[in-house]
Structure 1
């Protein structure tokens, strides 16, 4: 997108707006964390003030009440997870989609353990109350209205949690994992009847019932609005279709998409969209892919690498295929800069957002340095475009081609490690720079660790990991 020079200068001039921008992100992130704790505490307080305190007259009642409170907190965390994954513009712009999803993932296990503990503690409490052991109490508990739906909800949530573990996730394609992850919506919906049917906790017409229904409406309303309604309306308005395919390297292809009024999307170089290609073999899965060039009013470009069945299938869709999308998302843009210099380290398909960000940025000669990293010559796709943009903008470019070093810094080639090259050697002004990193997660983690060891501050690091 060809944005006006005034806006570009504001986004790209470090040391003025950008520290405030970073502090604002930090404040919003802290506020979201505080809100999470406050809503959990409020859920428990509502339970106590609506009769919960009367249930602490005996050990059995106290244990049962703790079990109920545990379930309420767990449910609150699950609803917060849904909201964080709903791609709400305020959250995405304030802390970034990547950070929101990181918090979403971090809440998964605590929420699951709380809900599982909710069931176990209730078994113990009911057992103490009736004089039965917890195992014998299972039968009567199953007779509670909608209990089977609650057990189904826990089982579905367990599938989602297990499938999200890194070791398990690698065994599946992104498309399979994504479909499994959608079970979290079914899990939450299955739990609603159970929660509302316990009249002594959420009695009809009570403020507590209204409060919880409002939370459910907020979470699912955000999902329906930002994951379904808005993308549907935007896709119909802009009428994207595949215009043509252009091979960039073995297993790498650029897809040119044509549409109308695309500048009104206000996408910025470095952002990504979630794409859905309407063919018989691809309509059922979506793909988060960054723009690989700045949008014009009638054209977008993405570059896809064959990393599995899903990316392979969209690399051969025919011209004229209708494309639906969500976005733009992400804050891997120069709007987050805080330092006077810019350092960029990129490898593999990570070249796509970096190429678009470089094109969209207004830079002074000598302000930026880019390190391009590839294992083989076949991995140097789009490097020519990066070099041309760098020449136009006065950006220094360093290239590294070869397998990762076995000794020395593992992110560089063995030859570079043997001659004692360091990150500070490539970027002498690293500590006065914003460091943008994009590439495979394992490689990127090594670069980031090296940068931190060199003394760069956390707020100067902007990482885009190709992971899910």
Structure 2
């Protein structure tokens, strides 16, 4: 029998493509406008260093706007790229802000010192007596502290509460930077048009942040009044938490997505964890399943029915809306099975193969549900157990191609521990699976 390749699905309105076009257009247009503002500003700076410092200041301000939009968790970006990609961009944007925040005042002060023929330190002391300049210096100092505490080596040694509190200082730094711009910004105060553009850009970023991180979560939680309905122990020290509420059919959640969960009264407010939905939302209830590996996840077993739940989301791009082919391969590792199990319920996924990797088959979480769903849907389920080694590596290219011979014709959804996910991604690349057919998401949350 000759295998017939399936035609690719239409990707005209694919969320990733839309997000890429909008993001690229936003960055290009604004960078053009920023440079136009610089060259069309009033009288030139006192010397070359002053001009460079002014341009660095514009870059810094725009990078801060981009950072606010990244942590605002805009649905367009989240559904198009996934929060793991946004978190990586958040981190690199943060380091860019750090270096710009250091270089901008240093170059400006060097320019003034050269112009006035005084030492750098003397000029710094003189200008720090001006309130707008002092506000900018304090903002830079705060940014340096935040970045120092965000370096991986430092973060590993700090309690989450300390790191989170320090990270929140970034908002204070942004406020001080905005005040500094009000008094010292010259490139965007030369005429009414540039002022409207610049402050409109800041209003967009701050408005998106307040709506996405404060207003929308408060409104949704007030509307749905989520509470714990039941807590069910699962194999391998895992637990499923069933949650009910009002008007859950209005919650725009999809199989494969996750929420940031808080349990006020049971845990302190700062304890928040990203747990995926382990069942497709049905408009009546939600379910999360977590393995007890940390303080919050281990404490889920102690939840009582009726406990209030505060959820922020839904987030994540690991949904059926990402598919570009008719056939699907779902790959799960360990507790990463939770969004995969939910995706198995999505009717938009067809001709499904599931690979579930666990060390011990007797401790496979939700395996009974997977087997029942697979049977009901006519899907093929492979439970891959045992320690990984030379003689047992199902995700080696040859072995994976044997398990799923038509893998290049399928969308591949992956969720599992980072080592497993990265190994599978490498194998898919070697097998020639087109990148647009590969969908994976790692839970690496941005702070703020």
Q: Do Structure 1 and Structure 2 share a fold, with TM-score over 0.5?
A: yes
Any unmatched runs of 5+ in structure 2?
1-5
Change (3 A) 1:55 1:333: same
Q: Is the 8 A contact 2:274 2:443 kept in 1?
A: no
Query: Per-residue CA shift, 1:408-449, capped at 9, x if unaligned?
Result: xxxxxx434799952212211111111111011122111101
* 1:235 aligned residue: 221
375-384 or 238-247, larger mean C-alpha shift:
375-384
Secondary structure (helix, strand or coil) at the match of 1:435 reads: strand
Taking a change above 3 Å as real, the CA distance of residues 306 and 186 of structure 1, as seen in their structure-2 partners, is: farther
> For 2:44, which of 55, 58, 63 is the aligned residue?
55
- Deviation per residue, 1:249-277 (Å, 9 max, x gap): 24311111111221221321111122221
Query: Is 1:459 aligned with 2:445?
Result: no
1:194: how far off? 1.5
Task: Determine if contact 1:440/1:466 at 8 Å carries over to the other structure.
Answer: no
Moved over 6 A (4+): 417-420
Q: 2:31 aligns with which of 11, 28, 40?
A: 40
Number of aligned residues: 440
**Does 1 or 2 have the higher relative contact order (CA < 8 Å, sep 6+)?**
2
Distance change (3 Å), C-alpha of 1:258 and 1:419: closer
2 CA distance for matches of 1:345 and 1:112?
A: 38
Distance in 1, matches of 2:342 and 2:237, equals 21
Aligned to 1:277: 263
Provide the rounded CA distance (Å) in 1 between the counterparts of 2:68 and 2:216: 17
Aligned to 2:181: 195
Q: 3-state DSSP class of the match of 2:344? A: helix
Q: Is the contact between residue 397 and residue 427 of structure 2 (CA under 8 Å) also seen in structure 1?
A: no
Sort the Cα spacing of 1:466 and 1:89 in 2 relative to 1 into closer, same or farther, 3 A: closer
RMSD: 2.7
Give the equivalent residue in structure 1 for 2:384.
400
Distance 1:326 1:199 in 2: 36
Larger CA deviation: 193-202 vs 240-249 = 193-202
Distance 1:139 1:237, change over 3 A: same
Tell me by how many angstroms 1:376 deviates.
3.1
CA distance in structure 1 between the partners assigned to 2:7 and 2:336 by the alignment = 26
Report what 2:405 is aligned to. Answer: 428
**2:333 aligned with 1:342:** no
Of 139, 145, 153, the match for 1:153: 139
For the structure 1 residues 417 and 39, does the alpha-carbon distance in structure 2 shift closer, same or farther, using more than 3 Å as the test?
Answer: closer
Cα distance in 2 for residues equivalent to 1:356 and 1:107: 33
Instruction: Verify the 8 A CA contact 1:351 1:438 in the aligned structure 2.
Output: yes
TM-score (norm 2): 0.89
Distance 1:445 1:418 in 2: 11
Alpha carbons of structure 1 residues 189 and 333: separation in structure 2 relative to 1, 3 Å:
same
